[in-house]
Structure 1
């Protein structure tokens, strides 16, 4: 009985010691996720707090950054928008009704960024996203979700 109790205590002690890892050890090329609050001053001078999710991945010195936002259309529909920046290109992925459209960045004009794919154009300026496809125009505003 004493031997089994001694062995059980030894196994427990080894388990506790082996599971004690520091957060800095391990694979450094793993995705780091950060949610943060950003204070933004609107054109009317009021301060808004926007919660964003972002992640940074580094593999072989190449950094990839993703930023997730939720936008809201004028009819109340919520749309997930993911901005991804890699060393080779920048894209925006818009997901609504289980459909995702990914567009590549084509140009930047001052504070406006333009993404295009086929007949679809997205213009991002501040907290607004302007989506054009043919004759359809959809205005989206960033939410505080």
Structure 2
């Protein structure tokens, strides 16, 4: 009889201590947060900017990508949204272009005779008579 009461009392105490609710919430639920969203020049969300979510559910801007040209060559592209620049590195050469215009679904960067148009997963480099089409890879 005493063992039954002790077991029941122990179960009640265990259930009371294990059922405490945490104020911090569920860490696995990702909250939608619009803070820090990059806007295009027309005031709408810039759809050419890609966001990633870390383990804690915090959003951050993904800035570097690998693009592949139609001839198979690779180029690393880094976007700096604070300075409004884009750098393209290929064949040990780096070109840094300034953002000129952003329409929300298309962003244009230029420096001297070089022009880069970013639209979705595609990047078109235009330098004089040379037009190079690149596509974002999943490397």
Aligned counterpart in structure 2 of residue 127 of structure 1, from 105, 112, 121: 121
C-alpha displacement at 1:53, in angstroms?
A: 10
User: In the aligned structure 2, how far is the partner of 1:53 from the partner of 1:122?
Assistant: 21
Q: Is 1:136 the counterpart of 2:130 in the alignment? A: yes
Residues 112 and 123 in structure 1, CA contact (< 8 A), matched pair in contact too: yes
Structure 1 residue ranges (4+ consecutive) displaced by more than 2 angstroms after TM superposition? none
Cα deviation, 1:22-48, whole Å, max 9, x if unaligned, reads: xxxxxxxxxxxxxxxxxxxxxxxxxxx
**Residues 1-145 of structure 1: pairs in structure 2 closer than 5 A:** 67-86=63-82, 89-145=83-139
Pick 1 or 2: higher relative contact order, CA cutoff 8 A, min separation 6. Answer: 2
Structure number with bigger Rg? 2
**Any stretches of 5+ residues in structure 1 without a counterpart?**
1-51, 55-64
User: In the aligned structure 2, how far is the partner of 1:133 from the partner of 1:110?
Assistant: 24
Task: Give the TM-score of the pair, scaled to structure 1.
Answer: 0.53
Task: Give the TM-score of the pair, scaled to structure 2.
Answer: 0.55
Change in 2 beyond 3 A, CA 1:71/1:53: farther
C-alpha displacement at 1:66, in angstroms?
A: 6.4
Aligned residue pairs, count: 83
Q: Which has the higher strand share?
A: 1
**Any stretches of 5+ residues in structure 2 without a counterpart?**
1-49, 53-60
